[in-house]
């Protein structure tokens, strides 16, 4: 039997279902080493890359292979031994394919952690067995809860440094599960691991006979991936561009299907509450029209009625969102420019860009102690997460955040410079 070609291998991977996950945790809890171990033990590292890491490890005087170098790609990260950026890695096993985001542990990079979690179905949260659950652990667990992540795996890392103690593990497990339940994270797992030695990451450990549960990879390979998929939502199609061809009387509305699916003959709702029917679905190659378009497809829709639509308008089916002028949102500040009540901004929602203002900054979340949130603060500073109320000049069909940002996500933009001040998601809508 001949060996599979590169094309065959790529097709096999493409045909597998994909799970999106990210790692999080405090500084020095071993996130990058964990990801490196996952890649190394699933044979997802190219030979030349592995050789380069071996040389870098030797140059740094590391006894063995420094697996964190497989992830920490920025020069500053390697020099400081920390993770700064969100590093994305792709790997696959016989069971499924994975897209993994390794997020920073420093508080000052909270915005990057939010970015990594926002598209993830699962969060692998690491703690140092010597320190247990710390403030940053609670912070990241709270962020996961805010973003609607319902599956969190706690890896109690460096368990070898506490002599594989079951008592230490059980104490951490109890503390974490109680906090996860309090925050509404319904699907939680706790696994004792050593990323450096490989215990219970991909292969089961021989050093902990008291633990009979699955490895981290074993959990990741068996978790259902259907929940929260954009394809399971109602149809949403923000118009990116209106195509007019007067010679042929052609009018089409181009964009990408954010959620759901649409077929020729389906009824859609346009701004103002009017309904019409999709008559054609055209593709970019122009070779032939298709009958159906699904989530992620970039297409041009033609409608039965001649309706005046523009970029930023939304075509919807099913339970269409109601346009509003004021709504609540949860945002994380991304720059040194603070957000203040009354501040004039622009709001990017879908393909719409509208003039708006920060009507109020209602609360800054104290992620270390939710009961101690800062009520009615003066402003929102870099990396802070806050509940705000946004007003827009023209009604927007906003809806609550779902399916890892397929709907309900927004940007707050500086009116003068065009810089993005904050990113976030829609909360309970206000009239």
**Structural domain boundaries enclosing 409:** 324-430
Q: Number of folded domains in the chain?
A: 3
- 235, pLDDT greater than 70: yes
Most confident by average pLDDT, 27-31, 89-93, 356-360: 356-360
Any idea what the CATH number is for the domain that residue 247 is in? 2.40.30.10
Residues 79 and 187 in one domain: yes
Query: Residue 352: what pLDDT?
Result: 95
Residue 171 burial (CB < 10 Å; 0-12/13-18/19+)? middle
In tens, the pLDDT along 359-379 reads 999 998 876 555 456 666 889
Q: Which of 153-157, 393-397, 427-431 has the lowest mean pLDDT?
A: 427-431
Backbone angles phi, psi at 375, to 5 degrees: -80, 140
Percentage of residues in the chain having pLDDT higher than 70? 86
CB 265 within 8 Å of CB 278: yes
Final residue of a structural domain among 222, 242, 263: 222
Query: Residue 74: what pLDDT?
Result: 40
Residues 36 and 164 in one domain: yes
Residues 278 and 346 in one domain: no
Query: Residue 402: what pLDDT?
Result: 80
Query: Residue 403: what pLDDT?
Result: 72
CB 390 within 8 Å of CB 356: yes
If one counts every other C-beta atom within 10 angstroms of the C-beta of residue 202, the result is 19
Query: Residue 73: what pLDDT?
Result: 52
- 113, pLDDT greater than 50: yes
Query: Residue 112: what pLDDT?
Result: 82
Query: Residue 228: what pLDDT?
Result: 63
- 96, pLDDT greater than 80: yes
Residues 178 and 306 in one domain: no
Quick check: is 1 in a domain?
no
The full 3-state SS of the chain, as one line of letters, equals: CCCCCHHHHHHHHHHCCEEEEEEEECCCCCHHHHHHHHHHHCCCCCHHHHHHHHHHHHHCCCCCCCHHHHCCCCHHHHHHCCCCCCEEEEEECCCCEEEEEECCCCHHHHHHHHHHHHCCCEEEEEEECCCCCCHHHHHHHHHHHHCCCCEEEEEEECHHHHCCCHHHHHHHHHHHHHHHHHHCCCEEEEEECECCCCECCCECCCCCCCCCCCCHHHHHHHCCCCCCCHHHCCCEEEEEEEEEECCCCEEEEEEECCECEEECCCEEECCCCCEEEEEEEECCCCCCCECEEECCCEEEEEECCCCCCCCCCEEECCCCCCCEEEEEEEEEECCCCCECCCCEEEEEECCEEEEEEEEEEEEECCCCCHHHCEECCCCECCCCEEEEEEEEEEEECCCCCEHHHCECEEEEEECCCCCEEEEEEEEEEEC
CB 425 within 8 Å of CB 409: yes
Quick check: is 248 in a domain?
yes
Residues 366 and 409 in one domain: yes
Any idea what the CATH number is for the domain that residue 32 is in? 3.40.50.300
Query: Residue 87: what pLDDT?
Result: 75
Mean pLDDT for 267-279 is 95
Mean pLDDT for 202-226 is 94
**Distance in angstroms (rounded) separating the CA atoms of residues 362 and 424:** 15
- 58, pLDDT greater than 80: no
Comparing 275 with 28, the larger pLDDT belongs to: 275
Residues 101 and 200 in one domain: yes
Query: Residue 247: what pLDDT?
Result: 80
Residues 31 and 155 in one domain: yes
pLDDT band at 254 (very low <50, low <70, confident <90, very high): very high
Query: Residue 9: what pLDDT?
Result: 44
Final residue of a structural domain among 277, 293, 316: 316
Residues 73 and 188 in one domain: yes
Residues 53 and 178 in one domain: yes
Residues 242 and 277 in one domain: yes
In tens, the pLDDT along 322-339 reads 999 999 999 988 889 999
Final residue of a structural domain among 296, 316, 336: 316
In tens, the pLDDT along 395-409 reads 999 999 887 678 899
Residues 196 and 307 in one domain: no
Mean pLDDT for 253-265 is 95
Quick check: is 340 in a domain?
yes
Quick check: is 152 in a domain?
yes
Mean pLDDT for 118-138 is 92
Residues 101 and 206 in one domain: yes
């Amino acid at each position: 039997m001949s060996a599979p070609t590169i094309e065959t291998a790529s097709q096999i991977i493409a045909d597998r279902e994909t799970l999106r996950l990210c790692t999080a945790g405090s500084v020095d809890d071993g996130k990058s080493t964990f990801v490196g171990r996952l890649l190394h033990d699933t044979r997802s590292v190219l030979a030349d890359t592995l050789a380069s890491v071996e040389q870098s490890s030797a140059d740094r005087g590391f006894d063995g292979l420094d697996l964190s170098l497989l992830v920490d790609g920025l020069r500053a990260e390697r020099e400081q031994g920390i993770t700064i950026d969100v590093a994305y890695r792709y790997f696959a096993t016989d069971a499924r394919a994975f897209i993994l985001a390794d997020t920073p542990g420093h508080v000052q990079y909270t915005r990057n952690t939010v970015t990594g979690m926002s598209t993830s179905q699962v969060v692998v949260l690491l703690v140092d067995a010597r320190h247990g659950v710390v403030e940053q652990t609670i912070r990241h667990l709270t962020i996961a809860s805010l973003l609607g992540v319902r599956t969190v795996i706690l890896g109690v890392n460096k368990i070898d440094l506490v002599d594989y103690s079951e008592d230490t593990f059980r104490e951490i497990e109890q503390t974490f599960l109680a906090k996860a339940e309090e925050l509404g994270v319904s699907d939680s797992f706790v696994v004792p691991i050593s990323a450096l030695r490989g215990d219970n990451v991909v292969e089961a450990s021989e050093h902990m006979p008291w633990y009979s549960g699955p490895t981290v990879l074993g959990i990741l390979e068996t978790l259902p991936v259907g929940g929260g998929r954009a394809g399971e939502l109602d149809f949403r199609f923000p118009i990116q561009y209106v195509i007019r061809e007067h010679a042929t009387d052609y009018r089409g509305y181009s964009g990408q299907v954010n959620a759901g699916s649409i077929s020729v003959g389906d009824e859609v709702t346009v701004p103002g509450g009017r309904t019409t029917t999709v008559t054609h679905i055209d593709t970019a190659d122009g070779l032939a029209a298709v009958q159906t378009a699904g989530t992620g497809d970039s297409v041009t829709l033609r409608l039965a009625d001649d309706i005046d639509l523009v970029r930023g308008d939304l075509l919807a089916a099913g339970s269409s969102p109601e346009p509003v002028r004021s709504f609540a949102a949860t945002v994380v500040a991304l720059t040194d420019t603070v957000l203040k009540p009354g501040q004039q901004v622009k709001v990017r929602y879908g393909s719409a860009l509208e003039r708006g203002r920060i009507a109020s900054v209602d609360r800054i979340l104290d992620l270390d102690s939710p009961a101690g949130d800062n009520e009615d603060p003066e402003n929102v500073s870099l990396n802070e997460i806050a509940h705000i109320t946004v007003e827009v000049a023209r009604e927007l069909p906003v809806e609550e955040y779902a399916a890892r940002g397929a709907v309900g996500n927004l940007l707050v933009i500086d009116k003068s410079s065009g810089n993005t001040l904050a990113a976030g998601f829609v909360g309970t809508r206000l009239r």
